[in-house]
Structure 1
Amino acid sequence: MGGPDEGRGGRADAGPVNADQMIAEARKAFFVMFGFLAIVWLVQLANYADDYAFSRDYGLVSDDIGTLPDILSAPFLHWSWAHIESNSGPLFVFGFLAAYRGVVRFLGLSLLVATTSGLVVWFFERGHVETVGASGLIFGYFGYVVVRGIFDRHLIDTLIGVVMAASFAYMLTVAVPGTPGVSWLGHLGGLIGGLAGAWLFRDRRPRPLPPTRSDGGGGAPARRAPNPDPTNPRADLHKELGDLGLL
């Protein structure tokens, strides 16, 4: 890349700060998801001890206007230990990936996903079925993680999205009709909310162009950081590659 004095007072100072901020947000995301899972499991313990009365009393029932507020409580409830166990791993993984860029944004996303998932169930489910479970959130976080990098124009998040999409594409099979005993409408509603959230909560801050680098000496010519043409549709990709030292 360059000599030990290269970029002092410029980008070299900014890099560690950004890395520290990212680590701090990732740490907060970890504890937020750990706390969320702890609450879900504590609720499950109380629910089980009361013969799943919480699921019956606070689950979302389609076409029942009195249960509309339960859109926010249903994701915390489950019908069995197998139900909560199958949801816990994906919930933590996708939740962490959705939250590590910013916990406040993640909380807004969670509210949006819970609402879209619940409303799709409430409007379109037939037979007054009681629906509970965190799977709507899981599908929302999944959709958000897959496309967030595209809307934010962030290379690393785009690569994460590609890997997650390739690794967990099979999940989409339970977001379409045909899987018995599964609220595919809740999954579909959550997925819609996650995709919408990636757009609504996208990073709107303008990205500064990297400064000119100087080696501080009179020897070899100074190397300049990539300065892409802002009119080039690949300018952001070039900048990301430059930040990674690949240009």
Structure 2
Amino acid sequence: MAQDSIRLAGATSAGGSLLAQLRARVLLLAAFVGSMWLVFFLSAALPFLHLNRHGVVPRTLGGLQGILFAPWLHASLVHLIANTSGLLILGWLCMWPRIDNFWQATIGAMLGAGLCAWGFGAPYTAHIGASGLVFGYAGYLVARGFYTRHILAMLVALFVAGSYGLTMLFGPMPLYPGVSWQSHLGGALGGILAARATARSRARLL
């Protein structure tokens, strides 16, 4: 009887722990993506703020600020909606097994997308939007499966490659006018490098 009670308590604790993990991830992702929507509506309501000028402006000192700010700036509602689904799906997958993975992928993608747009973008342009993050998350998830060889990570990598493969292939190419292929390319490379660094760090700990 006492043993049954211990087992029940353990199961309850495990269920509560999983629920807490789910709640933490939902709240984080909602706040992260929700902040982009908040900035968009703020920009639309107060156009005199000219928030989009804080994007990445290639090879200018002031344009470096866009590495931090560009993912929160969008040219239109359609632009934001197009990025939101990728951020939610791929961002959620990046959060497992640890939330730290999400931040590693985010930082890698932001740095890669921002620096590539700053270094290779056309003069007198401004690069804005979170698509660099989307490509970074995709690159991170595919590369994580390759580097870790963990069965679940490999299954996620196959899902991402199957679902976003064409987008990942053609998005980093200069095919569409007005689309920052530099951000896409840099974001993907940043995500891949973040996955590699994470795998190496984990291997050293083991």
From 171, 174, 179, the equivalent of 2:171 is: 174
How many percent of aligned residue pairs carry the same amino acid? 31
From 89, 98, 102, the equivalent of 2:98 is: 102
**Unpaired runs of at least 5, structure 1:** 1-13, 207-247
How large is the Cα RMSD of the aligned pairs?
A: 2.6
Give the superposition deviation at 1:23: 6.0
| 1:132-211 map, 5 Å | 132-172=128-168, 173-202=170-199, 203-204=202-203, 205-206=205-206
| Residues 29 and 96 in structure 1, CA contact (< 8 A), matched pair in contact too | yes
| Residues 177 and 184 in structure 1, CA contact (< 8 A), matched pair in contact too | yes
Q: 2:117 — aligned with what?
A: 121
**Unpaired runs of at least 5, structure 2:** 1-9
Q: Aligned partners of 2:145, 2:19: CA distance in 1, in Å?
A: 18
- Larger helix fraction of residues: 2
Deviations 1:11-38 (A, max 9, x none): xxx9999887666544422221111111
| Residues 108 and 194 in structure 2, CA contact (< 8 A), matched pair in contact too | yes
Change (3 A) 1:73 1:117: same
Q: 1:78 — aligned with what?
A: 74
Deviations 1:73-120 (A, max 9, x none): 110110111110111111111011011221123213211210111000
Amino acid across the alignment from 2:118: W
Aligned residue pair count:
196
Q: Aligned partners of 1:80, 1:150: CA distance in 2, in Å?
A: 36
Deviations 1:149-194 (A, max 9, x none): 2322310110111121012111121211111111001000000011
Q: Which has the larger radius of gyration?
A: 1
Q: 1:53 — aligned with what?
A: 50
Question: SS of 2:174's equivalent?
Answer: coil
TM-score by structure 1 length?
0.72
Q: Aligned partners of 1:196, 1:17: CA distance in 2, in Å?
A: 37
| Residues 147 and 195 in structure 2, CA contact (< 8 A), matched pair in contact too | yes
TM-score by structure 2 length?
0.85
